[in-house]
Structure 1
Amino acid sequence: MSQTGHICVPPLFLDSPGKPCMKWKGWLRAFENYIISIDGQGYSPERKKSLLFGLLGKAGQEVFDSLPVYVNPHGATAPLNEYQEAVRRLELQYAEECNIMVGRHKFALRKQEEGETIEEYIACLRVLAQDCEFAVMTDTYIRDQVVFYCHSKKVQERLLSCRNPSLKDVIAIAKAVERSMVSSKELANTSQASNVFYVQDSRKHVPGNSERAASDRGGGRRQLVCYRCGSKDHLADSRACPAVHKSCSKCRKLGHFAAVCKAKKYNTGMKVSSVSENDTDADADMVLSIDGEDGRVKGPIGSVMIGVIKLPFTADSGSPLTLISDRTFDSKWQDVRLHETDVSPKAFGETT
């Protein structure tokens, strides 16, 4: 439609021979709205007919002149005025015969599509309802269609909880639920982003001396290690890896040492009475396992002579250190005096 100031003028109905620019019913509604917008309700029938004739277009005017004069049916209460008679003649020529049952079938099949707002859905239902002749029941049928076939189950549940809402109530409720769903989704996305940031931040740790040295030697690049045995001299696909055919004493699976085992839940039943942090520059060594308070160890074991005393130990721990418990030490070397050390042992996987 063209605009004159803030007034929308309907397009020419039939400017050239052929098919009209739009359906007659829709064009007539646009023309009548145009009359209202220019305060033309009080115009005389002759003036309204003149405006109608001017917007028919050249080909439309020629068709109108060829139409037979409309005759009121027998029993009509009052004759039509000049404007009404012109509209009736054009209506008989261009109005499409509509099967009400087909129109209502199309209306009943129309469901709200994904991504379509409730207002867009209702606007589409109003267009379809024009061919259904619902008359004063139009809003009721539209309301029922929205309740039965809205896309969101949350909207449907909320509408069904109301006893007998009007179409206006249905629109207000559906829009409120749609807004809350959008807000909830935005909140969930924001919360998820915050959680990811927290996890990443909580895993930061200060690198030890060995890590800093490796970084310095490699020009700041991360040094790769074998995930089977923990060696820095080769990768896991190397034939020289000693762990390829070894069984893990932690998870009992083949192909890696316990020192690099990634099993999440494992309880050795053994405890270290006390391990203190050391702020010296000495590197911290990883400890996989020590003997328990009852003097027993789990997994493949061997034996080692410490002086004249023979003790069992884990045969394949993959750790540079093998520790004994304070109870075992006190029972075997009561007269031996211990000295402090700058070695800070840590359980495998710890970073502090």
Structure 2
Amino acid sequence: MVELDTDCKAYGRSIELPAYYQSEERREHFMRPEQFTTDSESDSADKCWKHWWKTFTNFIKVLHSERPGLLINKHALLTNYLSHTVNESILDCVTYEEAIDVLDATCIKLKNEIFSRHLFATHRQEASKTLDHFLKSLRTLGKNCNFCPMTALEAQEQHIVDAFINNLHNAQVRQHLLENKTLTLRTAYEQAYMVEYAIQQSSSYLQPDTVGTALNEPVSTAPPLHDDSPMKFQEQ
């Protein structure tokens, strides 16, 4: 694609663009965003909002650069580029910054970090997909995992949590742990222990001769973890 510029060369010859394309109004027209109409409940709301907000901020930068003395009411400008349904969410906002914060909170949902890492760790290449497609899908899944700088011990514990969840024998326990948005190894173990214990107790009620025994048993608590080693448990 040949990009239009005031001093560009195409096909070996210089092209001088008409004044119409060089005017401030024309440049603003090219940068002007479309109206934001995406429903905040849609699956692509976060991606659509992030992209639209980027185009909107670029448009404001163009206005500032082309018209240095122009005072821009960003709050009013934002309202003009939102659909009436989206605009309802910021009716009570007084400032532009407050409106952006509300739209961020409305459109960008908090990701389930634990479930995202589970999907990332268990993702497999399909037989019909190329290596490029597989790598791209891993990069996409990795964006929701909230990977961040950490110490070697923190990284070790995170990997142990992932392995602990991914290799649990009981699917009910795994499902319960995956409902957490964040999870430490200690919390993962304690929750898994209690869910497994509850399942065992529930099974015992199905056997008439064990009902009395189950009712008299004290409530069990998970044995604590050693502070110096996340993999070793204290004996009960």
Query: Could you say which structure has the greater relative contact order, defined with CA pairs below 8 angstroms and 6 or more residues apart?
Result: 2
TM over 0.5: no
Higher helix share: 2
The TM-score normalised by the length of structure 2 is 0.37
The TM-score normalised by the length of structure 1 is 0.27
| Bigger radius of gyration | 1
